[in-house]
Amino acid sequence: MSEELEELGYPVVRVAPAGVFAKGSVNDCMRLNLQLRMGLRVLWKIADFEAMDGQQLYKQAVRIPWEAYVPADGYVSIGSSVRNDTIRNTKFAGLRLKDALVDRIREKKGRRPDTGNDSDKAKLFLYWRDEEVNIYLDTSGVPLSNRGYRVSPGKAPMRENLAAAVLKAARWHPGLSLVNPMCGSGTLSIEAAIQASGRPAGRLRENFGFMHLVGYRPEEFEAIKMELDMGKALVASAPIIATDQDPEAIEAARRNAELAGVADLIEFEVCDFRQTKVPDDPGVVILNPEYGDRMGEEKKLLPVYQAIGDFFKKQCPGYWGYVFTGNRSLGKRIGLKTTRKIEFYNGPIECRLFEYELYSGSRNPR
Ligand SMILES: C[S@@+](CC[C@H](N)C(=O)[O-])C[C@H]1O[C@@H](n2cnc3c(N)ncnc32)[C@H](O)[C@@H]1O
């Protein structure tokens, strides 16, 4: 995340376990919501203070000028992460914060916003550790992984921000061939094609949390969108190939790519992964096979993982090969020497991206 933020021109001021901090304006917030590929949400800090219990939280939070952030006739939801000895129930903390906001706005404006669990309107985030409370506006609302192109999820799809992080870890960049057998709903190749087209990741989304806050100016957001879209080359300079043995998966991937506006940049084909056409120009080949989370499935998947090793060795000389899996013991059965094993979390599942340098006689230049 730090690297992505720095690349976008925002010096990182602090790194925390679940996020990175940078300074910026409201317009920077809008810009980041459009541009971030790996992040899930852009939070804007509005208050920090100390509180030991729910009562103290209320007392401090009712002083926040909520009427300057949340419209009295709007709707707001609250997300939270709480670790505090006196508060066992995260929901209770969120409720106290909600009470403070509602009471304050009612007092100042004569009416109160609606509240609930829908995250597609104004949203807050409460982060409370011991006595330290931080309150943020969640300017993203629905997480940024929801880019708006996935109408057909297919089986076990990867989240879009995870796919972007895998491409980054695999050191793929526009201009390098990408071969993605077992593409499923096409997330990896679609994310790559969006990058190759130079478009911001969130360009398709029509809704963000910031649009529901006091003072939102649509014309400023339109201007940012125009600026980010300008001068982009809408052609991939190297092939992006996505295949799957399941015709329905390819159908879904093609539909998603069409919605994302990048179908012309991806070559789709229905075939077994071993029949995937691998261009001569070296690049990156990434597979995300099934993990097998039920008993007996692992045994069935073993020959598939072994065949991936053969495919890499025989059909992908000069490439960098990657396998993303939540099953480390199957990953080890690929039978080739890994050059890196990169740790990821797919929700609660600990996963690995295994990297292989596939020699073509001489060492692979990259
Ligand atoms: C875990 S899913 C991939 C999900 C994908 N990353 C996405 O984001 O949607 C694994 C895919 O591998 C495909 N598959 C399994 N065995 C295959 C084989 N022998 N050849 C080609 N595709 C295969 C399945 O049809 C399935 O779509």
d(C-alpha 2, C-alpha 124), whole Å: 23
Q: What burial class does residue 307 get, using C-beta atoms within 10 Å of its C-beta: 0-12 exposed, 13-18 middle, 19+ buried? A: middle
For the domain covering 160-199+226-357, report its CATH number: 3.40.50.150
> Does the CB atom of residue 156 touch ligand 1 within 6 A?
yes
> How many angstroms separate the alpha carbon of residue 110 from the centre of ligand 1?
56
Neighbours of 355 (CB within 10 A): 19
For the domain covering 43-138, report its CATH number: 3.30.2130.30
> Does the CB atom of residue 289 touch ligand 1 within 6 A?
yes
Residue type, 200: P
- The tokens for 334 are 């690929």
Total-model pTM:
0.92
d(C-alpha 80, C-alpha 66), whole Å: 17
> How many angstroms separate the alpha carbon of residue 34 from the centre of ligand 1?
29
What are the angstrom distances between the C-alpha of 60 and each of 51, 135, 175, 287? 8, 11, 53, 50
Provide the pLDDT for residue 115. Answer: 97
3-state secondary structure (DSSP) of residue 305: helix
Cα torsion angle, 168, 170, 176, 178, sign:
negative
pLDDT in tens, 317-363: 999 999 999 999 999 999 999 999 999 988 888 999 999 999 875 54
What are the angstrom distances between the C-alpha of 236 and each of 88, 176, 178? 51, 9, 11
d(C-alpha 113, C-alpha 286), whole Å: 47
pLDDT in tens, 216-240: 999 999 999 999 986 565 566 899 9
Provide the pLDDT for residue 1. Answer: 76
> How many angstroms separate the alpha carbon of residue 75 from the centre of ligand 1?
40
Indicate the domain borders of the chain.
43-138, 160-199+226-357
Provide the pLDDT for residue 236. Answer: 60
Nearest CA to ligand 1 atom 26: 184
